[in-house]
Amino acid sequence: MGGKARTEKMSVTLPKELASEIRSISPQGEISSLFTEALEHYIAYRKQKIALEKGFGAWKDKSHPDLVTSEDSTAYVCAIREADHKRQQRLEGVSAK
């Protein structure tokens, strides 16, 4: 989102202490860039939090009886990693020819 995108001027009100802190860490003329970067990170965080909240409760143990314990989950992840490792070896063998 940063860079030479179209812009819109906004006015915000901040506590004096926060405004002073921003000025102390941001070079002259770079405050807009600091706000843009900070807000991009915050918006991504909020979107992820909303998605996680919407998905809460979607997992049902009865739908995945093979993944009830932490040992089951560990074995599942190990199997996926092993399959990926074998696939990577296969692909490297193809590209070497």
Whether residue 97 is found in the same domain as residue 65: yes
- Would residue 5 count as lying in a domain? no
Residue 56 has a pLDDT of 86
Overall pTM > 0.85: no
Give the model confidence (pLDDT) of 61-97 as tens digits. Answer: 888 888 989 999 999 999 999 999 999 999 988 765 5
- Would residue 77 count as lying in a domain? yes
Question: 3-state DSSP helix/strand/coil percent for the chain, to nearest 5?
Answer: 70, 0, 30
**How remote is the C-alpha of 13 from its chain's centroid?**
28
The domain in which residue 51 lies consists of: 14-58
Count: domains in the chain: 2
Give the model confidence (pLDDT) of 3-40 as tens digits. Answer: 567 899 999 999 999 999 999 999 989 999 999 999 99
